[in-house]
Amino acid sequence: MSDPSPARAKPTCFQELILTLQEYWARQGCLILQPFDMEMGAGTFHTATTLRALGPKPWYAAYVQPSRRPGDGRYGENPMRLQHYYQFQAILKPSPPDILERYLGSLEAIGIDTSLHDIRFVEDDWESPTLGAWGLGWEVWCDGMEITQFTYFQQVGGIEVDLVAGEITYGLERLAMYLFDKKSVYELPYNRADSDVPLTYGDVFLQNEREQSAYNFEHADTEMLFRHFADAEKECGRLIEKKLPLPAYEQCIKASHSFNLLDARGVISVAERQSYILRVRDLAKACCEAWLATQKKPAPSTAEGAA
């Protein structure tokens, strides 16, 4: 809290929104991490959340994570749906007593004047079947618009947490559309209007949405993906045995993304779907257990005390 950097002015574009949130959460004592360098469905998959939520060590971190949802691709034609978008995630473990006030402070920082808006906390319990994780919390509404998912983690990888992490997830594009009053994500100003080269979100990502949608729905080689899934699953198990939870977890992330791509290609039947989700969950659980084993403080030696 002693950080002297002045609060920046209200953001006017997508990148300033990110910068503002980073500075705000840095001032709250969070590490500012960088995105995890693999394809994942949500910021929760980042080791900074999934793994760090477990074990007895405190952990404050914030980061942007590109989130890949192959099935949500719309070839750039839907103004609100993307197969690649950004989440901003702050995780505070153990959750401090004033976490909601801190969160509301972040809204003020990005330019939401809470005296003009209607902010409400609407019950929403979060669950990730693939991560074997759940928590209780809210969707935060601003004038009826969901702008944040707020969760107190209770279980991750099927394991009850030692310390409860408060997880705050902002869907950045949706929030920016709200702040900058844009009907289409592609119209969002990416950088400032007075920049040398002012660009929109569409300038940066529209082509990517078109091509990646075509890949996700039409061209992804399903045989290869099935193979990748099986390979990653096998490799993950082998690495768990070697007591290497971090590389093992990366294989779990790979398996999960291969599954998402296969699902988008429509080659997984409803009946099979559940079994794939369970297979990923088994990997995630094994990784979480192996990670936790590295985090526990060594048991105090009782022999000395007895003597």
Partner 1 sequence: MAELLLELLSEEIPARMQTRAADDLKRLVCDGLKGAGIGFEQARAFATPRRLTLVIDGIPASRDDVSEEKRGPRVGAPDQAVQGFLKGAGLASLDQAEKRDTGKGEFWFAVVTKKGGPTADALPGVIDAAMKALPWPKSMKWGSSTMQWVRPLQSIVALFDGKVLKGEVSPGGQMAPIVFGATTRGHRFLSKGAFEVANFADYVAKLRSAHVILDAAERKAIILDGARKLCSDVQVTLNEDEGLLEEVAGLTEWPVPMLGAIDAQFMDVPPEVLIVSMKVHLRFFTTSGTDGKLANRFVVVANNVAGDGGKTIVAGNERVLRGRLADAKFFWDQDRKSTLESRIPGLKQIVFHAKLGTQAERVERIVKLAGEIAKAIGADAADVEQAARLCKADLVTGMVGEFPELQGIMGRYYALGEKLPASVADALGDHYAPAGPNDRCPTAPVSIAVALADKLDALTSFWSIGEKPTGSRDPFALRRAALGVIRIVVENRLRLPLRPFLKADDLLSFFAERLKVQMREKGVRHDVVDAVVSLGGEDDLVRLLARVEALQAFLGTEAGKNLLTAYGRAANIVRAEEKKDKGLAAKIAGAPDAALLEQAEEKSVASALDEVARNVKPALAAEDFAGAMAAFAGLRGPIDALFDKVTVNVTDRPEIRLNRLKLLNQIRATMDTVADFSKIEG
Say whether residue 103 binds partner 1 (CB under 8 A). Answer: no
User: How far, in whole angstroms, is CA 246 from its chain's centroid?
Assistant: 18
293 scored as a contact of partner 1 (CB under 8 A): no
Query: 34, 114, 195, 294: which one contacts partner 1 (CB under 8 A)?
Result: 114
Q: Which residue has the tokens 């839907």?
A: 78
Q: Which of 143, 208, 214, 293 binds partner 1 (CB under 8 A)?
A: 143
Question: Which CB, 75 or 121, lies closer to partner 1?
Answer: 121
Taking the chain, what is the end-to-end CA distance rounded to the nearest angstrom?
45
- Residue of the chain from 29, 71, 94, 237 that contacts partner 1 (CB under 8 A): 94
Query: Distance between CA 103 and CA 28 in Å, rounded?
Result: 10
Yes or no: say if 151 and 91 are a contact pair by the CB < 8 Å rule. no
Tell me whether residue 161 or residue 239 sits nearer to partner 1 (CB atom). 161
| Candidate residues 10, 69, 74, 117; the one interacting with partner 1 per rule CB under 8 A | 117
Binding-site size, partner 1 (CB under 8 A) = 36
Q: Considering only residues 232-271, where is the footprint of partner 1 by CB under 8 A? A: 269-271
26: Cα separation from own chain's centroid: 18
Nearer to partner 1, 22 or 28 (CB): 28
- Tokens coding 214: 């075509």
Nearest in space to 126 (alpha carbons), one of 159, 104, 148, 99: 148
- Is residue 77 within 8 Å of 68, Cβ to Cβ? no
Q: Which residues bind partner 1 (CB under 8 A)?
A: 80, 94-97, 100, 104, 114-123, 125, 135-136, 138, 142-145, 152, 154, 161-164, 166, 178, 269-271
